[in-house]
Amino acid sequence: MNEILFVIDGTPVRAAMALYAFAGAVLALLIAITVIIARGGSRTATATRLQAERADELEIRVGELLRAHSEAQGRVDAMGQALAGRQAEMARAVSERLDAVGHRVGQSMEQTTRHTTQSLHALHERLGIIDNAHKNLTELTSQVTTLRDVLANKQSRGAFGQARMEAIVQDGMPIGAYEFQYTLSSGRRPDCVVFLPDQRPLCIDAKFPLEAVTALQDARTDDERKVASQRLRQDVLKHVTDIAEKYLIPGETQDTALMFVPSESVYAEIHDGFDDVVQKAYRARVVLVSPSLLMLAIQVMQQILKDARMRDAADQIRTEVMNMMGDVERLRDRVSKLGAHFDQVSEDVRQVLISVNKIGKRATRIEELDFTPQAPAEAQPEAATPELFAMPRPPKVQSRS
3-class SS string, 67-107: HHHHHHHHHHHHHHHHHHHHHHHHHHHHHHHHHHHHHHHHH
Please answer whether residues 374 and 366 qualify as being in contact, where contact means their C-beta atoms are separated by less than 8 angstroms: no
Please answer whether residues 363 and 392 qualify as being in contact, where contact means their C-beta atoms are separated by less than 8 angstroms: no
Question: For the chain, which residues make up each domain, given as ranges?
Answer: 4-130, 153-312, 322-401
**Across residues 191-217, what is the average pLDDT?**
81
Which of 342, 351, 340, 335 lies closest to 385, judged by CA?
Answer: 351
What pLDDT sits at residue 393?
Answer: 45
What pLDDT sits at residue 44?
Answer: 59
What pLDDT sits at residue 10?
Answer: 67
CA dist 328 to 19, 317, 340, Å? 142, 16, 18
Crossing angle of helices 211-218 and 222-247, rounded to 10°: 170
Please answer whether residues 341 and 376 qualify as being in contact, where contact means their C-beta atoms are separated by less than 8 angstroms: no
Higher per-residue pLDDT: 282 or 216? 282
pLDDT in tens, 266-293: 888 888 878 888 888 888 888 888 888 8
For domain 153-312, is the CATH number 1.10.510?
Answer: no
pLDDT in tens, 338-392: 888 888 888 888 888 888 888 888 888 777 766 666 655 444 444 444 444 344 4
398 pLDDT higher than 50: no
What pLDDT sits at residue 31?
Answer: 83
- Mean pLDDT, the chain, whole residue set: 77
Please answer whether residues 277 and 270 qualify as being in contact, where contact means their C-beta atoms are separated by less than 8 angstroms: yes
What pLDDT sits at residue 43?
Answer: 57
Please answer whether residues 284 and 240 qualify as being in contact, where contact means their C-beta atoms are separated by less than 8 angstroms: yes
What pLDDT sits at residue 395?
Answer: 43
What pLDDT sits at residue 79?
Answer: 81
Give the whole-number percent of the chain exceeding pLDDT 90: 0
Please answer whether residues 202 and 194 qualify as being in contact, where contact means their C-beta atoms are separated by less than 8 angstroms: yes
Q: Which of 11-20, 91-100, 114-123 has the lowest mean pLDDT?
A: 11-20
Please answer whether residues 264 and 290 qualify as being in contact, where contact means their C-beta atoms are separated by less than 8 angstroms: yes
- Per the DSSP assignment, residues forming a β-bridge with 259 are 205, 288
pTM given for the model: 0.43
What pLDDT sits at residue 345?
Answer: 87
What pLDDT sits at residue 158?
Answer: 55
Higher per-residue pLDDT: 316 or 337? 337
What pLDDT sits at residue 40?
Answer: 61
